[in-house]
Structure 1
Amino acid sequence: MAGFRDRDGGPVDMRVVPHPAVTVVLEFGAGPLAVDAAAGRQQYRDLVAGFGHGAVRVRGENVECVEVRLSPVAAYAVLGTSPAELDHIVVALEDLWGQEAAQIRQQLVEAASWQERFALAEAALARRSVTGAAVDREVAWAWDRIVADRGRVRIEELAAEIGWSRKRLWSRFRSQIGLPPKRAAKLVRFDHAVHRLALGESAARIAADSGYVDQSHLHRDVLAFTGVTPATCAGDTGLAVDGIAYAEYGALPLRLSRLAPPAMALHL
């Protein structure tokens, strides 16, 4: 969780780099966010973005928002729908939460500090996580293993350790997490690699450390997820922001079972 404010009130224009989380943006500034995606431009007060959003740009003026990156294990309960229903799309939070989304937005407007806003957002997420449907214990374990191993684990090994067939793991994981396990591992591995690129590390070294066959395979993944080359992606504004806003927590998404104090408010 992180807070963002446009310092000068001028326009914000950022390309979204995919990461292994479902993104919830609670905007409480002066105007809506304009999201350019494959389906065209839409305006949102609050939004939810699924995994496959590499071609998305977000624009706005006088932006103030709380951004939450939810593990898909938590998102399944919190959002009231499987992340599979959000694949490659951006939706209004109101479509999932109804009137509660507007109520939370008003509370954020009236809050006196960022810490109060973080507490309000956290309370809303935690409240919904208690009443929402939980993913299978085996699916949650498999996701945590993929994240812990930075996407380098073999799916056959996961299925064997759980005691499921590969087909059963694929089916349950896809329906509850939102991605097939192999695709999820690929996204986690990409996320780790691309943040190292943003730190200025060598692409060849990153490829070797991250389990890619060679540098060309890293290049191919970056191009597939973002539409740009590793060199271009390394200078992306969004990745630079990640290194500040989420510095204490790395790139890991939020699991409500182990909430940490939210990140600081970041002035852009």
Structure 2
Amino acid sequence: MSTFMHGGAEWDVACPRRPSRLAGVTMAGFRVHDLAALRMVPHPSVTLSLEFGARSSVLDCAAGRQHRGSAVAGPGFGTGGGVRVRGEHIECVQVRLSPVIARAVLGASPAGLDGAVVPLDDLWGREASRIREQLGDVPSWQGRFALTDALLARRYEAAPPVDPEVAWAWHRIVAGRGLARVDGLAAEVGWSRKRLWSRFRAQLGLPPKRAVRLVRFDHAAHRLVAGEGAARVAADAGYADQSHLHRDVMAFTGATPAAVAGEPFLAVDDLAWPGRGTPGEPHAPRGSGSAARRA
């Protein structure tokens, strides 16, 4: 376990010693004694938070809405910068799910989340309570990771996967760090633009153009946290200019690039999510000869 210090806050952070048996899954464990109004920064994954401690975190959303305890958040959750999480003595396993496998693991399409948050009880019913109890009974972080991984694998294997063409398009976007040409994705998989857009949105929870923008923002935001200048990040990340980067960062976070560079939600990634991103290599979809040849 490592310790993350940011300002006066101290977080204990644990990482699995072994990768998940599922491509598209990464996990981290957090123990935070005093979490004060942490801004949630959008991420291009479905985030599953499994709490097991004596206390529950509080998620303050727009229009005064609040959520407590274990929850699932869709890709881009926190867009606009109006979501904060707080609490005391919080313990949780946080899972980042590639949207490609999220539907199977959750038992519901990420499209139903639409960048929002849903209490885990609403999706999994009594199983959510059982998981909390089981995680609390396990004495080690590695044991909790193993328990969580077995749960995710069991749920994934019992459900149908997304269309391989949709998975291919997603992996193209991620591999290109948001620089993929959206108009060319349909041609790569041999589908019409309308068909790909419809299936992509229904199965992954966001349309391709929004996916490209979110992946590009995530890459740029982490480079800002690493200390790179906004002008260089804008040029390398595919923005028209520094003003374009500024507008995009403001739209996603409600903060300037300079402020985002100091966000603990992003800064902790070096400890919690080494080798960031959505794990899993793209596989050529069935029947997509042109895409397979380009892989």
Stretch moving more, 211-220 or 189-198: 211-220
The one-letter code sitting in structure 2 at the alignment partner of 1:3 is G
Structure 2: distance between partners of 1:253 and 1:149: 12
Aligned equivalent of 2:212: 185
The one-letter code sitting in structure 2 at the alignment partner of 1:227 is G
Give aligned-pair identity as a percent.
Answer: 62
CA distance 1:214–1:187, change in 2 (3 Å): same
1:91-240 aligned at under 5 Å gives the runs 91-240=118-267
Quote how far apart the aligned CAs of 1:154 are: 0.7
* C-alpha contact 2:174 2:278 (8 A) present in aligned 1: no
Structure 2: distance between partners of 1:144 and 1:39: 35
Structure 1: distance between partners of 2:115 and 2:100: 18
Deviations 1:98-137 (A, max 9, x none): 1111111111100010000000111111110011231100
The one-letter code sitting in structure 2 at the alignment partner of 1:21 is S
Quote how far apart the aligned CAs of 1:32 are: 1.3
* C-alpha contact 1:27 1:65 (8 A) present in aligned 2: yes
Stretch moving more, 189-198 or 213-222: 213-222
Quote how far apart the aligned CAs of 1:169 are: 1.1
The one-letter code sitting in structure 2 at the alignment partner of 1:172 is R
1:245-256 aligned at under 5 Å gives the runs 245-247=272-274, 249-250=275-276, 252-254=277-279
Aligned length: 253
Aligned equivalent of 2:53: 29
Aligned equivalent of 2:68: 44
Aligned equivalent of 1:5: 31
Unaligned runs of 5+ in 2: 1-26, 283-295
* C-alpha contact 2:235 2:241 (8 A) present in aligned 1: yes
- Structure number with greater CO (CA < 8 Å, separation at least 6) is 1
Structure 2: distance between partners of 1:87 and 1:255: 23
CA distance 1:14–1:210, change in 2 (3 Å): same
Name the SS of the counterpart of 1:4 in structure 2.
Answer: strand
Structure 2: distance between partners of 1:212 and 1:256: 26
Quote how far apart the aligned CAs of 1:236 are: 0.6
The one-letter code sitting in structure 1 at the alignment partner of 2:88 is E
Name the SS of the counterpart of 1:60 in structure 2.
Answer: strand
Structure 1: distance between partners of 2:93 and 2:105: 16
* C-alpha contact 1:74 1:256 (8 A) present in aligned 2: no
2:53 is the alignment partner of 1:53? no
Structure 1: distance between partners of 2:140 and 2:39: 28
Alpha-carbon RMSD: 1.5
Structure 2: distance between partners of 1:41 and 1:170: 31
Structure 1: distance between partners of 2:205 and 2:272: 26
Quote how far apart the aligned CAs of 1:2 are: 0.2
Structure 1: distance between partners of 2:49 and 2:264: 18
Name the SS of the counterpart of 1:152 in structure 2.
Answer: coil
Name the SS of the counterpart of 1:120 in structure 2.
Answer: helix
* C-alpha contact 2:58 2:69 (8 A) present in aligned 1: no
Structure 1: distance between partners of 2:255 and 2:281: 33
* C-alpha contact 2:71 2:120 (8 A) present in aligned 1: yes
* C-alpha contact 1:31 1:63 (8 A) present in aligned 2: yes
Structure 2: distance between partners of 1:99 and 1:256: 34
* C-alpha contact 1:73 1:255 (8 A) present in aligned 2: no
Name the SS of the counterpart of 1:32 in structure 2.
Answer: coil
Aligned equivalent of 1:244: 271
Unaligned runs of 5+ in 1: 258-268
* C-alpha contact 1:32 1:43 (8 A) present in aligned 2: no
Structure 2: distance between partners of 1:34 and 1:243: 25
Aligned equivalent of 1:265: none
Structure 1: distance between partners of 2:78 and 2:146: 28
* C-alpha contact 1:80 1:133 (8 A) present in aligned 2: no
The one-letter code sitting in structure 2 at the alignment partner of 1:165 is S
